[in-house]
Structure 1
C-alpha cells in the first residue's frame, strides 16, 4: 500500500494500516473509534440488498462489497489502542469482550426505533469505572448527515462521545468516512485519523474539508499540530 498523509486544519489524516501507524505516533488524549465488528456485513446483505449498492424496503444497503468486515481486528490492535491513550471509547465493544477488560461505563446509542431490521441500539466500551450513559438520536436524523459508509455513526453521536474524553488530540484508528474527524472540527478538537481503504480515505478528507468550510462561530479553532509527517 502507498502510504499517504494529509493535514487539513488541525486534522492529520493518514492512509495506512492502523497497527503500523499507531506504533509510530506519540500518545494522544483519547481514542474514539468504531472498528469492523467481524460480522460479515456483506454476508448479512445477501437476500436483502441487491449486492450492487441497492436497498430493500427495510433500509438495508450494500454500499459496494464490504470486505473489510469479514474479520475483526486482532488483539494486538486493541492492545495498541489501550496503550496510546489514557481514555478509549470503542463502538461495538460488545463484539470485543474477549479483548477488552470488564468496565462499568458503557455508552449506548438508542436509535429511537423498535423492531427495525437492524439493531435498536449500539454499545460503546469505555475504559472508565463510572455510570453508563444513553444517547437517544433517531436513525432517520442520522441519515441526514449523508450516509456514505455502511456503519457510519451520526456526527451528533460522536460529538456527545467527545464529552467523555479529556482535552487534547483525539485519535480514530478506523476513520472510515471521517465522522469522528468532523465531530472534532465542530468542537475545536485536534484530530488524527487512520484509514486503510483509499476510497474512504478520500471521502474522509472531503468531509473534513467541508466541515472546516462551515465553521461553528461559537467554537474556537484549535492550533494546528506541529508534527513531522510520518511518511
Structure 2
C-alpha cells in the first residue's frame, strides 16, 4: 500500500523535515497571486462564487513578497528532489516567466509550458469578452534534461483537456481552486512510477494525494490552512 504523510504547516518548514533527495515528482498548484489583480478588474467573479480565491487571504501578496516566497519554495524543493525527478507547477500565464527564472536558479531544467483546458468553464463575463477556460502548467526536471516519461510510445500533447471539478469530488468540502482528479492522475501516471514518492507542498483539497494513492505512489502533502488540511486528510484516507 502507498505510504501517506501529511503536514499541517508552512511548506518551507515542512520540507526541512523531508529527507534530502527523496522525492521523485512534485505536482503542485501554488498561489497565483492574482487576488489584488482580479479585484481591480471589471469582473463579476465575486458575485458568482462565495469562496472567490481573491478573498481567501493567501492570494493577495505584494509581487515582491510573492516572488520571494516562490524563490524559497524552489530552494526547498531542490533539497528534497532526486536528481532526474520531475516537477509540474500550475500557474497563471502572466507569471510563467517569473516561475521559470526562479526554478532555473535552483537547478530545475525548464522543459515546456502546457495548458489545461476546462471543457465547461464558468461562463462569467461571456457577453463582454472571451470566457477564461485555461490555466498554464510548467514542466521541469531536476539536474537533468530528461526524466521519467511513461508514454509507452504514444504521443502526449502539452494540452490537457478535462471538465472542471465535479460535485462528486467536492463532497468533503469546497476549495476555490480544486483541480479534478483526472488531471492530476494524468501527470502522476506519466511522470512517476509505482512506489515512488510524490510531493504536493500546496496540497489544498488533496487531489494530488488521491491521484498518487490510487496509482500506488507514496505521497507527502503539505497544507497550511487547517480547514483544508482536515478536508484533504479525510479525502485521501478514504480514497480507493
**2:26 equivalent to 1:31:** yes
Assess, with a 3 A threshold, how the Cα gap between structure 1 residues 149 and 157 changes in structure 2: closer, same or farther. Answer: same
The answer for the alignment partner of 1:91 in structure 2 is 90
Cα distance in 2 for partners of 1:49, 1:93 equals: 16
Name whichever of 127-136 and 84-93 sits farther off. Answer: 127-136
User: Residues 177-202 of structure 1, C-alpha deviation per residue, up to 9 Å, x if partnerless?
Assistant: 11111111221211000111111111
TM-score (norm 1): 0.73
TM-score (norm 2): 0.71
Q: How large is the RMSD of aligned CA atoms in angstroms?
A: 3.0
Higher helix share: 2
Cα distance in 2 for partners of 1:96, 1:61 equals: 28
Higher strand share: 2
Count of residues in Structure 1 that have an aligned counterpart in Structure 2: 197
Alignment of 1:140-155 (within 5 A): 142-146=166-170, 148-155=174-181
The answer for the alignment partner of 1:163 in structure 2 is 189
SS at match of 2:7: strand
Q: 8 Å contact 1:36–1:68 — kept in the other structure?
A: yes
Structure 2, unmatched stretches of 5+, are: 125-130, 147-155
**2:57 equivalent to 1:67:** yes
1:174 Cα deviation (Å)? 0.5
User: Residues 5-54 of structure 1, C-alpha deviation per residue, up to 9 Å, x if partnerless?
Assistant: xxx9621111111111112211211100000111117963997366xxxx
Cα distance in 1 for partners of 2:74, 2:57 equals: 20
The answer for the alignment partner of 1:14 in structure 2 is 7
User: Residues 196-229 of structure 1, C-alpha deviation per residue, up to 9 Å, x if partnerless?
Assistant: 1111111111111221xxx2xxxxxxxxxxxxxx
